[in-house]
Structure 1
């Protein structure tokens, strides 16, 4: 009799999301963290292992995965069971397999978000006294360690500084600034970097091929850009995109899935805005809003386009592989025709518009008003060009009056609106320090402070001044300096702000120079033989201040 055919009723294997399936299991599979891998590899080869490591970075860059790889590297015994710590764990020995499966008894993973108190840390303190059961090192991995309470941190300090030789700690956090300095000083810190979009796109292409799916380059570039440097976020989006397209990932489908506006539509909208076509721009914006595109996303795409144009104008960056030929042509055209003040003004207006869209009760209306504001500003003359034209004409009667909050003290509206009655030419400051003193004596403490602490001089040749500054400087800093100097010296100055400074050419700020002088004086004092003898005789003594004996007068001599 024929055997009965029993149907296979075994359940299909459980699907694993891409973020878990392609989680790196070795340092070779960890992308974008070459500096950390090199440092750890050298430490393991030389046997110079820290008692604690701190892994920081944004979500999804591999902090917890790196912690598990370190645990395997320290406890791997090799296929023959005779190996030692290695930067390339075998992955087949019992410790490697158990750690990868999360079941090794000596590798303890703890989530600080749900174990925040001193009681949880006390359990660790009690357990570290006992040797590892089967591993070479007992390792405690504490994720989101910044969530521990102050008492928990304090209770951990002594054990963290002097743990038993068989114990290692690995901390992971996304908010390293919340950790006490006492904890930071006891750890070897590694800052895991965001993964560049190009590297993410290449990584996703390999995964798509391994999954038997297909994807075009533009779709992968869009996913990589949306991931914002996070591998896990990108894999989650890729997983969704593969399901959305039934194994075929296309750029249009990714845009629809993510709610991204079409890049061609964004370029068209930007062109209408720059041309001052208000009606056309509102119609183009309305068409995107009707398709369900998030208004904030549209403004963000406009900001990204302005950023791309600015980079192309400054450094002629290589085009983004995700850009089409039409987009490259448009970007290069705008980069060659728009001035730096124009692109900076575009950026500031759109940035302000984005904040309004994100907080407005009706975001679509806020986006329309932001577009109209940009169009209105495009028809206005550049402030620097306006000042130049008025200076050439010698007519400032129609010039706008500086706001009262930004007006030099002692200056009236009449003085700022009408030409000054030919004042006596004041001597120009001989050097930059004299210029700063001028602002101090004229009761402009805010500008004097910024000149002293935040400004680096590239070139000083009165009435020409080239400077670079920090982000603390207001956008109109150069204009305010020129207005004050014109009022006080009766000379028109040209103050040039050099973005990012000139490598090796900018002098240190006056604040930095003063600190360097103090440090040099302190070093010279500490090197004095008499001071060294005093410190040797009194080990607890500390040099707190330096004063110099006043020279004696002729009468005292």
Structure 2
């Protein structure tokens, strides 16, 4: 058999390079490529220029904002020697010298990265402490990058403190963490801290557009805006979603489309949500439920529908304030938000927010999510047809809302001249006319009339009376009326005291108000609401 048949004369095939995900491929290699962290870059640049470098840096922030990437960039900036080999630390590392290339490739012997999640103990830190005594092999600084530093044990933190406070001049520590609250204050006080911000959605969308262009992939702006929103400020999360969206588009998909991204992420279509929101405001219960079921049949989670409705209410509120309601919105959506903002008051928007938010929380815990979502939407529709609480109060005060209630028992007016009292109410007024106010109050609060006939008065007591009460009451009545009274406290319960009657009458009036159609509807829409200021309202009506 010839060599040609065996393939021995064929040139060796080049080894195919493994695919690198976008989150790794487009990791920033210079500070200019680090998006959304301008304040930190400016501070670091000034510190490098003035040779005022801290010996330890702590980088904190949510996932994917660039903590580890920033640590590597700092390592490059401190160890860059420039293309000619004579450079000094710079905020703009050249990227071509051996230290820059070795650090970027993760192979520099003097830049040691450690994951604290898998190296939590004192033994791991002891190795760092021992090695830090020796000078760097080839770099200007020996740099230790410890990721997720909050996961170190207490003993490990304590072992690091002394070295961290007074490290050798050739050593720099770079810590990264997502949970800075778990880092001991003794460590925090020894570090220069940088809080990396969430990256704004508009910056992320622009960054993803550059990445898509570099990859030769066509992407709709709306699709990139959706990805940027879903990333929640994380560049890494956004690039991972973009990677998935490109794969989802396939070879014949014609690029990354907004509709495909919504389907991939399980997001509700914003156009459909705008239509649903309009149905809610119009009070169209059947249309709203049909629209919800349509979204549900497409696989959209009911909680996601309510979450998007919350975003819509928030967007309308911002539009009413005249502020930017967010990046990535189409002209159609912006116009809809402005139209709703013109027609809705702030109280109505706040009420909508509370109702939808309550529904969102209920659906999250419900055994029947879609049914709970339907009930939440029906509650919104019912409440949308009611006036806001302030308007309701104005209607009640103006009399445009009629409340049917039993009139309170009015106290008899004082007689022009002293006369024999014919009821316990007149007796109390008689005592007040004689300036025996304490006795009058005791009569109202404690006495339960059993028999009242002329100057004969039998009563029960709501509580134990003072020992000399009968004597004082008899003397006061004799002085006020000129007649000796026969007063007797009996064991019979008797009728309610005047105070008990007043409380019962007020409760009956309050219940009658709460049972009126308008107030009942308002209380149903706002289960946590309370009827307050009732005494003032009674005075105004009187």
TM-score range, shorter chain: 0.7 to 0.9
| Structure 2 counterparts to residues 51-130 of structure 1, below 5 A | 51-130=55-134
Q: In the superposition, relative to structure 1, how do residues 156 and 397 fare at CA in structure 2: closer, same or farther (>3 Å)?
A: farther
TM-score, scaled to structure 2: 0.73
Q: In the superposition, relative to structure 1, how do residues 126 and 395 fare at CA in structure 2: closer, same or farther (>3 Å)?
A: same
Match of 2:256 in 1: 249
Q: Give 1:94 deviation, angstroms.
A: 1.1
Alpha carbon RMSD of aligned pairs, Å? 3.0
Match of 1:553 in 2: none
Q: Give 1:418 deviation, angstroms.
A: 5.2
Q: Give 1:47 deviation, angstroms.
A: 0.4
Q: Give 1:317 deviation, angstroms.
A: 2.6
| Structure 2 counterparts to residues 5-44 of structure 1, below 5 A | 6=10, 9-44=13-48
SS of 1:172's equivalent in the other structure is: strand
How far, CA to CA, are the matches of 1:154 and 1:110 in structure 2? 18
Q: In the superposition, relative to structure 1, how do residues 381 and 81 fare at CA in structure 2: closer, same or farther (>3 Å)?
A: same
Q: Give 1:57 deviation, angstroms.
A: 0.7
* Greater shift in the superposed pair: 5-14 or 97-106: 5-14
> 2:238 is matched with which residue: 234, 239, 244?
234
Match of 2:271 in 1: 264
How far, CA to CA, are the matches of 1:415 and 1:228 in structure 2? 54
* Greater shift in the superposed pair: 372-381 or 207-216: 372-381
* Greater shift in the superposed pair: 90-99 or 34-43: 90-99
Q: Give 1:375 deviation, angstroms.
A: 1.3
SS of 1:225's equivalent in the other structure is: helix
* Greater shift in the superposed pair: 34-43 or 172-181: 172-181
Question: 1:122-173: per-residue Cα shift (whole Å, max 9, x none)?
Answer: 1111211111111111111111111111111111111111111111111111
| Structure 2 counterparts to residues 457-536 of structure 1, below 5 A | 483=532
Q: Give 1:366 deviation, angstroms.
A: 2.1
Match of 2:390 in 1: 384
Larger Cα Rg: Structure 1 or Structure 2?
Answer: 2
Residue pair 1:227, 1:233 contacting (<8 A) in 2 also: yes
Q: Give 1:92 deviation, angstroms.
A: 1.0
How far, CA to CA, are the matches of 2:159 and 2:246 in structure 1? 48
Q: Give 1:49 deviation, angstroms.
A: 0.6
TM-score, scaled to structure 1: 0.71
Matched, 1:367 2:373: yes
| Structure 2 counterparts to residues 143-542 of structure 1, below 5 A | 143-246=147-250, 248-314=255-321, 316-318=322-324, 320=326, 322-393=328-399, 483=532
Question: 1:29-86: per-residue Cα shift (whole Å, max 9, x none)?
Answer: 1011000000000000100011111111110000000000000101111111111111
Q: Give 1:121 deviation, angstroms.
A: 1.3
Match of 1:497 in 2: none
Match of 1:545 in 2: none
Q: In the superposition, relative to structure 1, how do residues 84 and 341 fare at CA in structure 2: closer, same or farther (>3 Å)?
A: same
Alignment: residue pair count: 423
Which residues of structure 1 form unaligned runs of 5+?
400-410, 420-475, 493-557
SS of 1:121's equivalent in the other structure is: helix
Q: In the superposition, relative to structure 1, how do residues 361 and 166 fare at CA in structure 2: closer, same or farther (>3 Å)?
A: same
Q: In the superposition, relative to structure 1, how do residues 415 and 257 fare at CA in structure 2: closer, same or farther (>3 Å)?
A: same
* Greater shift in the superposed pair: 209-218 or 7-16: 7-16
